[in-house]
Amino acid sequence: MNPAENSRNVNQDSTRSERETRDLEAGEEEATTSGDVLGSSQGAQRASLSSSAGVPSVEASSSQIREFYSEALRQEIVNSKTIDLILFLLLKYRRKQKTCKAEILYMVIRGYEDHFPAIFTKATECLRLTFGLEIIERNPRVHSYSLVNALGLTYDGMLHGFRGVPKIGLVIVVLCIIFIQDNCASEQELWRILNNMGLYAGRDHFIYGDPGVLITEHFVQEGYLECRQVPGSDPPTREYLWGPRAHAETTKMKVLKHFASIVKQDPKSYPTRYADALKDEIDRT
C-alpha cells in the first residue's frame, strides 16, 4: 500500500473512531437522562415538572392554556408513577419474585390505568439503561413479568457500592466504552467519558456509590475488567480491557447492539466495530 492510500485509511479509521465516540457520549447522555428520572442525590425525590412545552404566551387562548396545563399534569403523573414502578420492580428483583400487569395496576398505578403504557415503557427504558435490567414477559396471557440481568451477565453488584442496588448498568457502560475504544480504553479516556455522565472516582453517585472503587476494585476482582499498566508510560498510566468473565458471559455483538439501541442506530452503521463483533461471533462457533 502506498503512503497516500495508507494516510487515507488512517484518516478514515480516525473519523470512524471519532464518530463512534461522539455517539457513545450521546448514548451516555440518554442513559444519564433516564437515570435522572429517579430524582436528586437521594434517588427517591420526585422528578420535576416537564418544561419542554414552553410557557404559553399572554395571547394564548384559554383552550391552549388548558391544553398546556393538562399536558404538564400528565407528564407529572407519568414521571411520578414511573419512579414508583421502578422502585416496585427493583424490590421484586431483589426478592427474585415475578409480577404481573394486574398487580402493577393495583399496587402502583391504581387510578391512573390509562397511563400504564407510557409509565411501563419509561420504567422499562430506565431499568435497562441505568440498572442493566431487562423486563421479560413470562406469560403473555396474564402479562406476567420478571427482571433479568441484561446481556447475559451474572453479576448484580448488589453487595458492592450502595447495597441492594444492581450495578449491571455500570458494568455494561464500561464494557461499551472499552469496545468502542477499539477493545482497550486508557484510564484517562475512560474517566473522561464517565465524568460526562456525572460519574467521578472518589465521589458517591446516588445509584452506584463510588464508581472508582466499583471499577478499579470490584469489577476487576469479579473478572469483568482487566487493568494493566501501559508499557513504558511515564508517569505510569493504566488501561482497561474486557476481563475473562465478560468474554465468557456476553459477546461483542450483544454489547454493540445494546450500544446501538441507546443511540438509536443500526449496529451495521458502525462498520469497524460490527466487523470486529462479527469476527468474534464466528470465532466462538
What pLDDT is stored for residue 34 in this prediction? 53
Top pLDDT among 187 and 53 is at 187
Could you give the CA distance from residue 127 to residue 74 in angstroms, rounded to a whole number? 21
> In the predicted model, what is the mean pLDDT of the chain?
84
What pLDDT is stored for residue 59 in this prediction? 55
Could you give the CA distance from residue 116 to residue 122 in angstroms, rounded to a whole number? 10
| pLDDT at 239 exceeding the cut of 80 | yes
Domains 62-152 and 159-284 belong to one CATH topology: yes
| pLDDT at 9 exceeding the cut of 70 | no
CATH classification code of 62-152: 1.10.10.1200
Residues 143-166: tens digit of each pLDDT: 999 999 999 999 999 999 889 999
| pLDDT at 45 exceeding the cut of 80 | no
Could you give the CA distance from residue 114 to residue 73 in angstroms, rounded to a whole number? 14
Could you give the CA distance from residue 168 to residue 186 in angstroms, rounded to a whole number? 21
Residues 245-268: tens digit of each pLDDT: 999 999 999 999 999 988 889 999
Confidence bin at 231 (pLDDT 50/70/90): confident
CATH classification code of 159-284: 1.10.10.1210
What pLDDT is stored for residue 72 in this prediction? 76
For 27-56, what is the mean pLDDT?
Answer: 47
50 neighbors 79 (Cβ within 8 angstroms): yes
| pLDDT at 40 exceeding the cut of 50 | no
Domain ranges of the chain: 62-152, 159-284
Least-confidence region, from 31-35, 135-139, 185-189, 271-275: 31-35
Top pLDDT among 164 and 39 is at 164
What pLDDT is stored for residue 274 in this prediction? 96
What pLDDT is stored for residue 174 in this prediction? 97
